[in-house]
Structure 1
Amino acid sequence: MENNQSCIRVFADKVQIDNCRVILQTNDKAFSQLSGLLALAGNEVRLKILFLLEEENELCPCDLSDILGMSIPAVSQHLRKLKDGNIIEGRREGQTIFYSLKQEQLTLLRPFFKHIINNSKKETV
């Protein structure tokens, strides 16, 4: 069967098309921010780190290393990407840096984390 990619509509709804373009243009910055967040959270290790930071409020690289069974340098690389992506922030206490989710990112991520928790509850029942 041939892959037909032509459009067969008779009339374009110009108002609808213009309205959709305006909505996309008006929300361009939000799309960019969410796209960046999802791109970083799309890595399984980083998603786990974000989940743990939401659950525990803040953790240091050593804690994350122990929990994830990874080396501290490997965890630090993921933390650096998340920090550069403006998703997490650090708080220094002596020589230790404690990382936490930025509040605005938590608002976006919380529904995903609820989905993870709800699925684990279903599996244990």
Structure 2
Amino acid sequence: MKNDTTCYRVNVDKELLDNAKEDISSNKETLDNQAKLFSLLGSDVRLKIVYLILKHEKMCVCDLSDVLEMKQSPISQHLRKLKDGGILQNNREGLIIFYSIPSSLKSNIESLIKF
């Protein structure tokens, strides 16, 4: 069967289209930020990392490595991407670096990750 992508609308609601274009334009920054967030959370490992840190406030690479049963190197790479993307922050406590989610993002991320 052939895919037909032809639009068969009879009337064009110009006002609807103009309003929709304006909505996209006026919310561009928010939509771009949300797209960035979804892109970063699109990896199952990064989603698990963010979920764990949300549930436990802060975790180090060793903790995440043990829980996810992965080597520290790939965990560190995922943490770097999340940190560079602004989803995580880190704090050194002695020799250990703990990762956490900035308080300004917690509610936004929690609303996306519901269990």
Common fold, TM-score beyond 0.5? yes
Gaps of 5+ in 1: 118-125
The equivalent of 2:38 in structure 1 is 38
What does the per-residue CA deviation read over 1:26-80, in whole Å, with 9 as the maximum and x for residues that have no partner? 1111111111111111111110000000000011111111111111111100000
What is the distance in 1 between the residues matched to 2:16 and 2:54? Answer: 39
The equivalent of 1:52 in structure 2 is 52
- 1:42 maps to a residue whose letter is G
- 1:77 maps to a residue whose letter is Q
The Cα of 1:108 is off from its aligned counterpart by: 2.3
TM-score by length of 1: 0.85
The Cα of 1:110 is off from its aligned counterpart by: 1.1
The equivalent of 1:121 in structure 2 is none
The equivalent of 1:120 in structure 2 is none
Q: Where does 1:6-45 land on structure 2 (aligned, <5 Å)?
A: 6-45=6-45
Gaps of 5+ in 2: none
- 2:69 maps to a residue whose letter is G
TM-score by length of 2: 0.92
The equivalent of 1:111 in structure 2 is 111
Query: Which runs of 4 or more aligned residues in structure 1 lie more than 4 Å from their structure 2 counterparts after TM superposition?
Result: none
What SS does structure 2 have at the residue aligned with 1:9? coil
